[in-house]
Amino acid sequence: MVEQKLRVTLITGRTIDQGVAKELGKGSQEYFDNVAVCFLDSSDIKRLGLKNGMNVQVTSPYGSIVVKAKKYPYGTLSGMVFMPCGLWANAICSDATDSIGMPTFRGFTVEVEPAPDKPVLTLDELLKQEFGK
Amino acid sequence: MTEILIKNGFVIDPLNNINCQKMDIAIKDGKIVEKVNEREAKVIDASGLTVMAGGVDIHSHIAGSEVNIGRMLRPDDHVKDVVRKTALTRSGTGYSIPSTYVTGYRYSKMGYTTVMNPSMAAMKAKHAHEELNDIPLIDKAVFTLLGDWWVALETIAKGDLEECARHIAWMIRATRSYAIKIVNPGGLESWGFGRNVHSLDDEVPNFSLTPRDIITGMAKVNAMLNMPHTIHLHTNNLGIPGNYKTTIETMQALESVYKGDKPVGHITHIQFSSFAGDNWAHFKSGAAEIANYLNAHNHMTIDIGQVTFADTTTMTADGPFEFSLYELGGHNKWVNSDVETESSGGIIPFHFKKKNAVNAIQWSIGLELSLMIKDPWKVSMTTDHPNGGPFYHYPRVFAWLYSRKAREATLKKCNKKAQRKSLLPTLDREYTLYELAIITRAGTAKALGLKNKGHLGIGADADVAIYNINPETTDIAQNYKPVRKAFSNAIYTIKDGEIVVKDKEIIAIRPGRTMWLDVQTKEPYRINEEMKRKFKEYWTVEFDNYPVTDHYIKVPEKITIQASV
Amino acid sequence: MITITPKRKFDVPIQAACINVDVFTGKTLNEIKKLAITEGKENLTLDDAFDLTEDKTLETPNITLTGDFSKVKRIGQGMKTGEIIINGNVGMHTGEKLAGGKIVINGNSDGWTGSEMKKGLIEIHGDAGDYTASPFRGNSAGMKGGLITVDGNVGSNVGCYLQGGTIKIKGSAGRFLGHHMSDGTIYVEKNCASRAGTFMTGGKIIINGTVELLMPTFTIDSIKPKVKVDATQNAQGPFYVFLGDIAERGTGKIFALKTTNPELATYEKYL
Amino acid sequence: MAEIFKSVVCPICGCLCDDLEATVENNEIVKMKNGCAVCEAKMVHGYKSDERILEPYIRKDGKLVPVSMDEAICKAAQILTDAKYPLLFGWTSSVSETQHVGVELAEELGGALDNCCSVCHGPSVMAIQEIGIPTATLGQIRHRADLIVYWACDPWSSHPRHVERYTAFTDGRFEKSEFKEYVQKLKAKASQKKVDAAIRRTQVRYQPSQPPKAAIVEAPPQSLAKAGRKMIVFDVRKTMTAEVADYFVQVEPNTDYEIFGALRCLVNDQELDIDKVGGVPVEYLKEIVDAMVNADFGAIFFGLGLTQSVGRFRNIEIAIAMTRDLNRKTKFVIAPMRGHFNVTGANTVFAWQTGYPFALDFSQGYPQYNPGEFTANDLLRRGDNDATLVISADPGAHFPKSSIQNMMKHPLITINPDWNAISRLGDVVFPTQWCGIEQAGTAYRMDSIPVTLKKIVEAPKGILADEEIVRRILEKVRDIKAQKNEKDIQGQQQILERKM
């Protein structure tokens, strides 16, 4: 039974691949490959009728972004999706800081849906689209 | 460099036996000289004013990791005391732990020119030096915490003091330090597993030695190295009722090291180690016992650690003490910071209140000690800044010492129980300006072995303070308030021959030097593979990256000493 | 009465602690116009940024502010007497350390309104921001007395370290309401987000709506039919009464209305 | 000719590993020994990649155009002086010497000054200001800790050598490495994994439309009660670190605070009225507390999972409160896993000059502090500042979109070695040297230990150290202000003369 949308909690954080890729350069292919992604539990991937590496659209009340879906490598991730911190995850984060300077990077609900026809924007495309530069 | 002639001031210079003599002081190239050309020199008319050497502070926590964590800890403290930027000076904040620039400005305004930063974990030495560079207008030096250093403990336990001495010589150099600081010996290592030592003869867990071994061993090492200052000792059981006994035992232990010439130990902020009574309910002063001992013996010097009734921040390497203080209750924040193989540390904001019996008795103990120890050369005035109160409260302490009236006025406002227990009403002594000069510059410089500081003799550093006090016409004990004010704001402060404070305002900025000892052992310290391996085992920083390099000291003053090992 | 209106829309924040009845008292309008404020780093006088007029026929309120003051900080800071009315939104630290008098905000207030307040009254007829009635960073001495009323909702961390006085909220409250409070009363007419009363050692929090999630550090004490809010108001129950924060060995009380909190019924078995 | 540099310090994360060996040939690092994957990526490849900025740029008609250093300095200084309220942000990948000048620049400008800690461990600093912190240097933990807790952090990914250098997998004087046991466990686990995979394949096909809220937490293993080093991981998701731990507790998102609350009650011998917190049964928590209390020396490390989730600094406050409570029973310390290699330094350097570690404002002529008011994201969110300087940081990649959109409304100056996201958005773009590769200086490890970064290769010609760039901007700002003052004085004199 394939579903259209998944309502889950978004968790963002560091991954070793993101760490390596950021040091290779924000414009590098490695950065794009390892950061413009969303990790899902294997059961969720199935549920959305996805395959590893297909595009998904992640939407929060604060924005929407297309990234590649990947299977989460360690254990289960039920009720959650995980995105490495970086430009793509931040496109759907909130700037609400609880008055302490820290934006809302994680722990809020997002919707994930397959987006086979939508492209994943590169760093420069994303900067152009969002900031006009 | 400009020449300066200070004319007609009342000069008080105890190291040269000058007591309120009307005389001129000549300055050239940063030093006190015989005379200068009066026509070319800048002449300061000091008639009716008191002229002293710049103040020397033997113990004040002004820089380093511990101090800075204290700063970070207390935004609530800083917001009470803000300092604006001017064309010349930087902005900053107080209150109990002023930011670096403000520290320099405030010391200088009080006529102080040399300050010892008495507590630094060796591993964090670079940090301390970076901060010292940012404290302008005063010369400074740091003491390295070595009393619980594993290498020292192991070599003392082995009985090989010479080896210990060589390691310590290396460490003093590596940390660009001036003296050996020992804090609650054995206690800090025990605190690594949450324990403490409670007497001089408790065994330090995992190391086969006792606090007594550490203290006497280190005092001997200190002598072997010909260090200018003695060991700088924060006693065991500090801050615990009844601890005056431990303090006396500690001093007795050091009698055996004394050779009859110069002191072998300095007990710092001794007020906190002069508590009598079995518990907090029966808390009382042990000042008389301590003073009696010190009056009968000459192998020790002390500084007071006077309480000034401030909302302050206590900080010490004595981690277990801070925790026990925290457990007494009523505190909102507690910081503990252990340093691997070397030390520990603790910080607690603390409000000393007149209406609190213990706090008021502590205030009384500090003054009792200062008044009952007869020889002022044994005493240095400190508040253990910021522990007893911030350093810029010193003039309040001076007033309590030189004016019975001043201390009676304060005592009247104190807790009634404390008033009854205080020995102050029985003490008539009032410090003279001469004695005050001893406990604030001459005696401190002597205790520290600083040859060019604390006096105005030919060849001394031209660090001078000029206060608006006329000793001929003023009865300082009666008019304590204007005199106190005069000590708060020097008319002139001269640092290395340059006028930096004039009419109570900063008019020039100088960086100030950092003094450090290059201790030369007879057999140069060899860094063998064994030591490097040990280093890797003991620390998480590589041997090559450990020592403080020249980069970290903006204006160094290297003092080379020859050790006898 | 002095009326103050902004001359323009402000971009960078303005610090104007001088808008304070104590400061205005005894000064002529021209003197008041020349009081110092800052806009960002720029040093200005009040009349650089605001139009000021005086109506000598009206005694109270002493100062009326009309317009958007949301970028103007520290209005009425430390004020001891008099009355300020703000017709519009107002910036941070309004009425901080208030020691008397009255501030009425016909709009929303921002963070730290009534912070470390000692006495007096602050009426907020809109929403109130985070840290309303909470002290400055690192300070554990909060509001000591007086009354703050809020018609709308309040943000998070409201009433932290409360030591006395009353806060009445007609709307809902954010997280960490009454964090570390030791005395005083907080009354919430609607709902309360999770983590109310954490670290509290005394005082009471009354929640007339739903409690999002009660901290595990509270233990049920009793069920009470009603509770006193202050001299003028009682809240009708029945209320579950919880004691806490037990991790702090505290004896603070959270009153949660029984009818709106059926999921708290599981606690009844411990009664 | 190859030259080998020993005891090189890694300028990436808060671990500041200083045991690296770099092989340099023809002014290029060709090999790194001892470093982690991230270190290798930066020091062998990244620092010399095509992403490097090689000259200063100014945006003219929407396009970045190369300019001379002087022109860029003048332009930057002019932007900052013209602004009523500039924000200077970043600093955490710079050496302390640069941060030091940064404070002076902010003070001179009367602007706001913030560092990256406001989006990483600023909440930890704030929690310390509320309650203090019992902590220790990493070596103290290495020597003594027999219980290590990683809470909401994944050192395996973010601080790859943390476990191996400082905690579970290293030998200390009093505690031995857990590595051998781990290898054995891993071997046993390999077969277990096959079993798990088989079970998964045979699972029923039907899936509920709403997934379960959290995975079922396993009961604590017997080994927790044994002597010797143990490692527990608390996290919302299973991580690589969790895989190597003795015990992994998977908590529901945003419930850390409640779990700490419950643990505190248990540490303080209080009974709980509930039986599950954050998806974890209270009976399991009791066993964890037993393990904590019975430890000789416990250490908790926490990460952004606490500082960034709901509750933020309050999460840290209660974690510290629990650690403090544990000290009444045994020895326990807690420490943040600081991210950027010198974020601790930024806090340190700011604090000694001003009293405050971040979120600073100089508009009143003296330092003011308030996270929530002067933190970068709050200023941007409110649109408070009217110019931004970003140095050694990439808010372009790490701030929420809306904050950057607000930043774009005003001029932006960037100082970074490479074309990261924020450099690409800059109006004045400075290139700079890589700290710790081309520029020496001081950095503070996550436990406040100062370590000296080394210079091992020469920077490309014409690229200045960031310290020098900031200093030159500061000098230029002072020039502009002095000229402006003079003009003002002349203007006033002219007015006076006219009046006369």
Q: What is the pLDDT of residue C61?
A: 87
Checking if the pLDDT of D196 tops 60, the result is no
- How many structural domains compose chain A? 1
CATH of the domain at A67: 2.40.40.20
Cβ of D156 under 8 Å from any chain A Cβ? yes
Checking if the pLDDT of B555 tops 90, the result is yes
- How many structural domains compose chain C? 1
Q: What is the pLDDT of residue D209?
A: 33
Q: What is the pLDDT of residue D207?
A: 34
Cross-chain CB nearest to C12 (options D85, D265, D314): D85
Q: Are residues D126 and D108 in the same domain?
A: no
Checking if the pLDDT of B526 tops 80, the result is no
Q: What is the pLDDT of residue D225?
A: 81
Cβ of B279 under 8 Å from any chain D Cβ? no
Q: What is the pLDDT of residue D277?
A: 94
Cα–Cα dist D306/D151, whole Å: 8
Q: Are residues D296 and D415 in the same domain?
A: no
Checking if the pLDDT of D161 tops 60, the result is yes
Three-state secondary structure readout of B338-368: EECCCECCEEEEEECCCCCHHHHHHHHHHHH
Q: What is the pLDDT of residue D499?
A: 60
Q: What is the pLDDT of residue D186?
A: 61
Q: What are phi and psi of C153, to 5 degrees?
A: -90, 160
Q: What is the pLDDT of residue D500?
A: 57
End position of a domain, from candidates D277, D308, D336: D336
For residue A50, the chain D residues in CB contact (below 8 A) are none
Q: Are residues D82 and D157 in the same domain?
A: no
- Identify whether D472 is part of a domain: yes
Average pLDDT, chain A: 92
Alpha carbon separation from A4 to A52, A67, A113, C141, D168 (Å, rounded): 17, 16, 6, 53, 44
Residue D191 — pLDDT band, cuts 50, 70, 90?
A: low
Cα–Cα dist A65/A89, whole Å: 8
For residue C135, the chain B residues in CB contact (below 8 A) are 76
What strands lie across the sheet with C42-45, from one edge to the other?
C42-45, C36-39, C14-15, C72-73
Average pLDDT, chain C: 96
Within B149-243, residue ranges assigned H as helices are: 150-158, 161-174, 187-191, 211-224
Q: Are residues D238 and D319 in the same domain?
A: yes
10 Å CB burial of residue C25 (0-12, 13-18, 19+) is exposed
Q: Are residues D254 and D356 in the same domain?
A: no
Mean pLDDT over B122-136 rounds to: 97
The string over B4-13, giving b where at least 16 C-beta atoms fall within 10 Å of a residue's C-beta and e elsewhere, is: bbbbbbbbbb
Q: pLDDT tens digit string along D418-452? A: 999 999 999 999 999 999 999 999 999 999 999 99
Longest dimension (CA), chain C: 69
Residue D485 — pLDDT band, cuts 50, 70, 90?
A: confident
Checking if the pLDDT of C175 tops 60, the result is yes
Contact (CB, 8 A) for B43 and B319: no
Give just the sign of the alpha carbon dihedral D480, D481, D486, D491.
positive
10 Å CB burial of residue C7 (0-12, 13-18, 19+) is exposed
- How many structural domains compose chain B? 1
Residue D203 — pLDDT band, cuts 50, 70, 90?
A: very low
Q: Which residues form the domain of C252? A: 58-270
Q: pLDDT tens digit string along B202-248? A: 999 999 999 999 999 999 999 999 999 999 999 999 999 999 999 99
Residue of B nearest to C139 (CA): B76
Chains C and A make contact, 3+ CB pairs within 8 Å: yes
Q: In Å, how far is D92's CA from the nearest CA of chain A?
A: 15
- Identify whether C5 is part of a domain: no
Q: pLDDT tens digit string along D221-249? A: 888 888 889 999 999 999 989 988 999 99
- Identify whether C225 is part of a domain: yes
Chains C and B make contact, 3+ CB pairs within 8 Å: yes
Three-state secondary structure readout of chain D: CEEEEEEECCCCECCCCCCEEEEEECCEEEEEECCCHHHHHHHHHHHHCCCECCCCEEEECCEEEECCHHHHHHHHHHHHHHCCCEEEEECCCCCHHHHHHHHHHHHHHCCEEEEHHHHCCHHHHHHHHHHEEEEECHHHHHHHCCEEEEECCCHHHHCCCHHHHHCCCCCCCCCCCCHHHHHHHHHHHHHHHHHHHHHHHCCCCCCCCCCCCCCCCCCCCHHHHCCCCEEEEEECCCCHHHHHCCEEEECCCCCHHHHHHHHHHHHCCCCCCCCEECCEEHHHHHHHHHHHHHCCEEEEEECHHHHCCCCCHHHHHHHHHHHHHHCCCCEEEEEECCCECCHHHHHHHHHHHHCCCCCEECCCCCCEECCCCCCHHHHHHHCCCCEEEEECCCHHHHCCHHHHHHHCCCCEEEECCECCHHHHHCCEEECCCCECCCECEEEECCCCCEEEECCCCCCCCCCCCHHHHHHHHHHHHHHHHHHHHHHHHHHHHHHHHHHC
Q: pLDDT tens digit string along B151-207? A: 999 999 999 999 999 999 999 999 999 999 999 999 999 999 999 999 999 999 999
Q: What is the pLDDT of residue C98?
A: 97
- Identify whether D498 is part of a domain: no
Q: In Å, how far is A109's CA from the nearest CA of chain C?
A: 17
Mean pLDDT over C44-53 rounds to: 96
Q: What is the pLDDT of residue A77?
A: 85
Q: Are residues D481 and D371 in the same domain?
A: yes
Whether cis (ω within 30° of 0) applies to the bond prior to C245 is yes
- Are B72 and D131 an interchain contact pair (Cβ–Cβ within 8 Å)? no
State the chains in contact with C (3 or more Cβ–Cβ pairs under 8 Å).
A, B, D
Which residue, among A30, A31, A115, A40, has the nearest Cα to D396 in the 3D structure?
Answer: A31
- Identify whether C17 is part of a domain: no
- Identify whether C49 is part of a domain: no
Q: Are residues D75 and D219 in the same domain?
A: no
Q: Which residues form the domain of D112? A: 53-118+341-488
Q: What is the pLDDT of residue D200?
A: 43
Q: What are phi and psi of D100, to 5 degrees?
A: -60, -45
- Judged by DSSP in three states, C265 sits in helix
Q: Which residues form the domain of B371? A: 1-565
Which residue, among D345, D347, D320, has the nearest Cα to D132 in the 3D structure?
Answer: D320
Average pLDDT, chain D: 91
Q: What is the pLDDT of residue B458?
A: 97
Q: pLDDT tens digit string along D264-278? A: 999 999 999 999 999
Residue D327 — pLDDT band, cuts 50, 70, 90?
A: very high
Q: In Å, how far is C137's CA from the nearest CA of chain B?
A: 6
Q: How many CB atoms lie within 10 A of CB D269?
A: 9
Q: What is the pLDDT of residue D213?
A: 42
Q: What is the pLDDT of residue C59?
A: 84
CATH of the domain at D371: 3.40.50.740
Which residue, among A67, A57, A31, A73, has the nearest Cα to A111 in the 3D structure?
Answer: A57
Q: What is the pLDDT of residue C192?
A: 97
Give just the sign of the alpha carbon dihedral D289, D291, D294, D297.
negative
For residue C155, the chain A residues in CB contact (below 8 A) are 99
- Are A132 and D377 an interchain contact pair (Cβ–Cβ within 8 Å)? no
Question: Would you list the DSSP string of B515-528?
Answer: EEEEEE-SSPPP--
Cβ of A98 under 8 Å from any chain C Cβ? yes
End position of a domain, from candidates D321, D336, D351: D336
What are the residues facing B527 on neighbouring strands?
Answer: none
Give just the sign of the alpha carbon dihedral B226, B229, B235, B241.
positive
Cα–Cα dist B316/B348, whole Å: 9
Cα–Cα dist B54/B6, whole Å: 14
**Sequence letter at residue B478:** Q
Three-state secondary structure readout of D58-117: EEECCEEEECCHHHHHHHHHHHHHHCCCEEEEECCCCCHHHHHHHHHHHHHHCCEEEEHH
Cα–Cα dist C9/C208, whole Å: 40
Q: Are residues D269 and D349 in the same domain?
A: no
Residue D187 — pLDDT band, cuts 50, 70, 90?
A: low
Cross-chain CB nearest to D137 (options B77, B101, B123): B123
Chain C residues with at least one Cβ partner in A under 8 Å: 111, 129-131, 155-157
Q: pLDDT tens digit string along B30-63? A: 999 999 998 999 999 999 999 999 999 999 999 9
Q: pLDDT tens digit string along C214-269? A: 999 999 999 999 999 999 999 998 999 999 899 999 999 999 999 999 999 999 99
Alpha carbon separation from B117 to B139, B179, B264, B499 (Å, rounded): 10, 10, 20, 24
% of chain A at pLDDT higher than 70: 98
Q: What are phi and psi of C264, to 5 degrees?
A: -80, -5
Q: pLDDT tens digit string along D342-396? A: 999 999 999 999 999 999 999 999 999 999 999 999 999 999 999 999 999 999 9
Residue A85 — pLDDT band, cuts 50, 70, 90?
A: very high
Q: What is the pLDDT of residue D197?
A: 45
Residues 67 through 126 of chain B touching chain C, CB cutoff 8 Å: 73-77, 79
Q: Are residues D180 and D100 in the same domain?
A: no
- Identify whether C111 is part of a domain: yes
Would you tell me the crossing angle of helices D343-354 and B125-133 to the nearest 10 degrees? 40
Contact (CB, 8 A) for D152 and D252: no
Q: pLDDT tens digit string along A14-52? A: 898 999 999 999 999 999 999 999 999 999 999 999 988
CATH of the domain at C135: 2.160.20
**Sequence letter at residue A28:** S
Q: Are residues D327 and D394 in the same domain?
A: no
- How many structural domains compose chain D? 2
CATH of the domain at B109: 3.20.20.140
Which residue, among B128, B120, B129, B139, has the nearest Cα to B315 in the 3D structure?
Answer: B120
Checking if the pLDDT of D210 tops 50, the result is no
Residue D496 — pLDDT band, cuts 50, 70, 90?
A: low
Cα–Cα dist B504/B500, whole Å: 10
Residues 179 through 198 of chain B touching chain D, CB cutoff 8 Å: 191-194
Average pLDDT, chain B: 96
Mean pLDDT over B477-489 rounds to: 96
Cα–Cα dist D456/D459, whole Å: 10
Q: Are residues D92 and D77 in the same domain?
A: yes
Q: pLDDT tens digit string along B395-414? A: 999 999 999 999 999 999 99
- Identify whether A1 is part of a domain: no
For residue C111, the chain A residues in CB contact (below 8 A) are 99
- Identify whether D205 is part of a domain: no
Cβ of C60 under 8 Å from any chain B Cβ? no
End position of a domain, from candidates D317, D336, D355: D336
Question: What does pTM read for this prediction?
Answer: 0.96
- Identify whether D289 is part of a domain: yes
Q: Which of C41, C43, C140 should be substituted to probe chain B, the one whose Cβ sees the most B Cβ atoms within 10 Å?
A: C140
